[in-house]
Amino acid sequence: MLLRNLDSKRQLCNGTRLVVPELQRYKFKAMMLSGNAQDDIIIPAIPLTSSGEDDLPIIT
């Protein structure tokens, strides 16, 4: 499930369900389960950082 709005024109928004057949260090290939898209989508890895005040419970 996509957790960030990436491209609303391509329907890559929060809650979009994806299948990930290929995972690489800096990007991954995905196919949408919802909507009419039939093409593979390449999504870049997005680093998650905090302001330092609150620790994020994210394991990288």
pLDDT digit string, tens, across residues 8-55: 888 888 888 888 898 888 999 998 887 666 678 888 888 776 666 666
Q: Is 60 within the bounds of a domain?
A: no
Q: Is 21 within the bounds of a domain?
A: yes
Q: What is the pLDDT of residue 29?
A: 92
Is 80 exceeded by the pLDDT of residue 57? no
Q: What is the pLDDT of residue 51?
A: 66
Q: What is the pLDDT of residue 3?
A: 79
Q: Is 13 within the bounds of a domain?
A: yes
Q: Is 38 within the bounds of a domain?
A: yes
Q: State pTM to two decimals.
A: 0.59
Total domains, the chain: 1
Instruction: Say if CB 16 and CB 31 are below 8 A apart.
Output: no
Q: Is 49 within the bounds of a domain?
A: no
Q: Is 14 within the bounds of a domain?
A: yes
Q: SS3 letters for 7-59?
A: EHHHCECCCCCEEEEEECCCEEEEEECCCCCCCEEEEECCCCCCCCCCCCCCC
Structural domain boundaries enclosing 23: 8-44
